[in-house]
Amino acid sequence: MSKKMKREALEKKRALDKAQVVALVTAVSIGVVAGVAVALVVLLRARRKSADTDESGEALFV
């Protein structure tokens, strides 16, 4: 292979590697945001008073 072909192949490989890194970072970021959203939903549901408690949070039925 000529130097020009080797250089072009190396440039293509670098571009592909960079695109893969960007895709990985994007996927991890989306996963983190989704995880935080799920955690917030779970925490907010846990704080919500249920229909089986009175105003003070005591259970109506034992």
Find the mean pLDDT for residues 26-43. 97
Give the percent of the chain with pLDDT over 70.
84
Q: Of the given ranges (9-13, 16-20, 42-46, 50-54), which has the lowest mean pLDDT?
A: 50-54
Please report the DSSP string for the chain in residue order: --HHHHHHHHHHHHHHHHHHHHHHHHHHHHHHHHHHHHHHHHHHHHHSPPTTB-TTS-BS--
pLDDT over threshold 90, residue 55: no
11 burial via Cβ count (<10 Å: 0-12, 13-18, 19+): exposed
pLDDT confidence of residue 59: 72
Quote the pTM value: 0.61
pLDDT over threshold 80, residue 51: no
Name residue 9's amino acid: A
